[in-house]
């Protein structure tokens, strides 16, 4: 039983969990970073400095960018006037996952439309395959704590506004299992809803005041439908690169994005492409992204379950029952790596999905006869320090970064989208302190 995982940020080795769950520290091992971290070279980026000189220059340019924004913010117009300044301007959002769509949705709430570009479609990758588990206080004591609390509260508000039938509150327990498949004495089964085999003990992780759930694909689709209704447009295609020019303030500026060979002009660009970071690294070479691959299965037991379970033992799988009768089972992640698989065409390994289903049969007699209705896999995006990356791209006047939310992407998507929309329109986020997530930290 991992009693300390809710507050273990920065202490233990990296242990990723899927679809909105933290069990241990979010930092990549030193050995892994030393062998895998991408360090730009002069030959790879002949137009840029390398090593410490490049980092110093980018930090300085990042300071210049922030100073310029502060000067503008001191005399900025009212909120409505600020939003109206984006009329007839083009904001390109690169990436159709929950973060890019949340930014688009919150911009739309203020009357600002975008063009969203994605190779595979809206919520085609992790955002359409995540578990949608939401925990209000599990990140307390970490830099993400305030972001998570605000976003958790926003989920209920947005679910009501958009009419999401999948949103609900539920309870959550940690259950230790031994793999014997034997039914223990009744005392160990007390207060457990559906786990009854090989139980060694359990404890409460949260109740309906702190735990909730939403179907991620339903959330993303509803937010995008709202943004489209307000004038935003979707363009399917592969982003191949960006065109840059010098800004009059001494910063760089992205003037256009190349999509399937066609250059699209832009007044602002938001980079929210998850673990697919090739374009992002053109702009911020130090910001290499990594993906952690998770598999998941959907199982149906014949009734709606109401208790999420984090198992300790048998590989520590996680189970999130949904209110449509599906039970989402995930676990057994791959090691972090640069992602080379194609978005929307990520391989699903049968052996991992079979292991997930077989493990459920060892912990619940109710799961023995459950039907496996779906098998899938996805990559969760992480930066080198496993913290979200949100803010202005250092050294750029009109490039914004929003990625690296890892296994808390669905939970933190709403507050992240709100904060980024404020940064784009107003030049400053007032709802969330984005300083811990500044891209210039790399």
| pTM (2 d.p.) | 0.84
Label each residue of 268-311 as H, E or C.
Answer: EEEECCCCCCHHHHHHCCCCCCEEEEEEEEEEECCCCCCEEEEE
What is the predicted pLDDT for the residue at 356?
98
Structure tokens at 62: 């990042």
Bin 212: left if φ > 0, else alpha if -120 < ψ < 50, else beta.
beta
User: Residue 405 is part of a domain; what is its CATH number?
Assistant: 3.50.50.60
Is the residue at 121 inside a domain? yes
CA 318, CA 331: separation in Å to the nearest integer?
Answer: 6
Non-local CB neighbours of 441 within 8 Å, separated by 6+ positions:
385
The answer to whether the beta carbons of residues 175 and 204 sit under 8 Å apart is: no
Is the residue at 137 inside a domain? no
CA 257, CA 240: separation in Å to the nearest integer?
Answer: 8
Q: What are phi and psi of 242, to 5 degrees?
A: -130, 155
Is the residue at 252 inside a domain? yes
Is the residue at 207 inside a domain? no
Identify the domain containing residue 122 by its residue range: 50-128+217-287+385-441
Rounded to the nearest 10 degrees, how much is the dihedral formed by the CA atoms of 254, 255, 259, 263?
-160
Positive or negative, the Cα torsion across 67, 68, 69, 70?
A: positive
CA 191, CA 168: separation in Å to the nearest integer?
Answer: 20
Q: At what angle do helices 409-426 and 98-109 cross, to 10 degrees?
A: 40
What is the predicted pLDDT for the residue at 49?
38
What is the chain's pLDDT, residue by residue, as a tens digit (442 residues)? 333 333 333 323 333 333 333 333 333 333 323 333 333 332 333 333 344 444 444 444 455 555 445 444 444 445 579 999 999 999 999 999 999 999 999 999 999 999 999 999 999 999 999 999 999 999 999 999 999 999 999 999 999 999 999 999 999 999 999 999 998 877 678 889 999 999 999 999 999 999 999 999 999 999 999 999 999 999 999 999 999 999 888 899 999 999 999 999 999 999 999 999 889 999 999 999 999 999 999 999 999 999 999 999 999 999 999 999 999 999 999 999 999 999 999 999 999 999 999 999 999 999 999 999 999 999 999 999 999 999 999 999 999 999 999 999 999 999 999 999 999 999 999 999 999 999 999 9
Structure tokens at 206: 């949260």
What is the predicted pLDDT for the residue at 62?
52
Per-residue exposure over 207-243, b if at least 16 CB sit within 10 Å of its own CB, e if not: eeebbbbbbbbbbbbbbbebbbebebebeeeebeebe
What is the predicted pLDDT for the residue at 39?
31
Label each residue of the chain as H, E or C.
Answer: CCCCHHHCCCCCCCCECCCCCECCCCCCCHHHHHHHCCCCCCCCCCCCCCHHHHHHHHHHHHHHHHHHHHHHHHCCCCHHHHHHCCCCCCEEEECCCHHHHHHHHHHHHCCCCCEEEECCCCCCCHHHHCCCEEECCCCCCCCCHHHHHHHHHHHHHHHHHHCCCCCEECEEEEEEECCCCCCCCHHHHCCCCCCCCCEEEEEEEECCCCEEECCHHHHHHHHHHHHHHCCCEEEECCEEEEEEEECCCCCEEEEEEEECCEEEECCEEEECCCCCCHHHHHHCCCCCCEEEEEEEEEEECCCCCCEEEEEECCCCCEEEECCCCEEEEEECCCCCECCCCCCCCCCCCHHHHHHHHHHHHCCCHHHCCCEEEEEEEEEEEECCCCCCEEEECCCECCEEEEECCHHHHHHHHHHHHHHHHHHHHHCCCCCCCCHHHCHHHC
What is the predicted pLDDT for the residue at 168?
98
Is the residue at 168 inside a domain? no
Non-local CB neighbours of 191 within 8 Å, separated by 6+ positions:
173, 202
Is the residue at 437 inside a domain? yes
Q: What are phi and psi of 433, to 5 degrees?
A: -80, 110
Is the residue at 81 inside a domain? yes
Q: What residues does 291 pair with on adjacent strands?
A: 337, 381
Q: What's the total number of domains in the chain?
A: 1
What is the predicted pLDDT for the residue at 79?
57
Measured in whole angstroms, how far is the alpha carbon of residue 204 from the centre of its chain?
26
Angle at 50 between CA 49 and CA 55, to 5 degrees: 90
What is the predicted pLDDT for the residue at 272?
97
The answer to whether the beta carbons of residues 5 and 17 sit under 8 Å apart is: no
Is the residue at 110 inside a domain? yes
């Amino acid at each position: 039983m991992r009693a300390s995982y809710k507050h273990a940020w920065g202490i233990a080795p990296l242990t990723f969990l899927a679809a909105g769950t933290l069990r241990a520290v979010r930092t990549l091992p030193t050995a892994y970073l030393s062998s895998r971290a991408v360090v730009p070279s002069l030959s790879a980026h002949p137009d840029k400095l390398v090593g410490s000189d490049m980092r110093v220059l980018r930090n300085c340019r990042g300071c210049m960018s922030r100073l310029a924004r502060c000067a503008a913010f001191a005399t900025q117009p009212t909120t409505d006037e600020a939003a109206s300044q984006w009329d007839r301007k083009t904001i390109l959002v690169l990436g159709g996952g929950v973060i890019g769509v949340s930014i688009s949705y919150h911009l739309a709430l203020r009357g600002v439309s975008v063009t969203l570009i994605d190779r595979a479609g809206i919520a085609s990758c992790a955002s359409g395959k995540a578990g949608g588990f939401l925990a209000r206080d599990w990140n307390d004591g970490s830099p993400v704590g305030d972001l998570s609390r605000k976003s958790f509260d926003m989920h209920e508000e947005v679910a009501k506004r958009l009419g999401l039938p999948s949103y609900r509150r539920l309870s959550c327990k940690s259950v230790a299992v031994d793999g014997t498949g034997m039914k223990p004495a009744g005392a160990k089964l007390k207060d457990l809803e559906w786990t009854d085999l090989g139980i060694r003990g359990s404890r409460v992780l949260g109740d309906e005041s702190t735990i909730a759930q939403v179907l991620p694909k339903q959330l993303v689709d509803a937010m995008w439908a709202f943004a489209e209704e307000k004038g935003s447009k979707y363009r399917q295609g592969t982003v191949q690169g960006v065109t840059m020019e010098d800004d009059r303030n001494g910063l760089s500026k992205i003037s256009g994005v190349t999509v399937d060979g066609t250059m699209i002009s832009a007044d602002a660009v938001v980079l929210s492409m998850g673990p697919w970071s090739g374009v992002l690294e053109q702009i911020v070479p130090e910001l290499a992204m990594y993906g952690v691959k998770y598999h998941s299965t959907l199982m149906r037991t014949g009734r709606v379950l109401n208790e999420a379970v984090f198992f300790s033992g048998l590989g520590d799988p996680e189970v999130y029952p949904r209110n449509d009768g599906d039970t989402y089972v995930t676990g057994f992640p791959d090691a972090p790596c640069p992602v080379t698989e194609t978005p929307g065409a990520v391989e699903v390994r049968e052996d991992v999905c079979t292991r997930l289903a077989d493990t459920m049969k060892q912990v619940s007699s109710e799961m023995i006869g459950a039907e496996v209705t779906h098998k899938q896999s996805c990559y969760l995006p992480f930066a080198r320090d496993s913290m979200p990356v949100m803010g202005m791209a250092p050294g750029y006047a009109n490039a914004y970064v929003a990625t690296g939310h890892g296994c808390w992407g669905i939970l933190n998507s709403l507050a992240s989208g709100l904060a980024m929309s404020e940064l784009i329109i107003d030049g400053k986020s007032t709802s969330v302190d984005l300083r811990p997530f500044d891209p210039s930290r790399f």
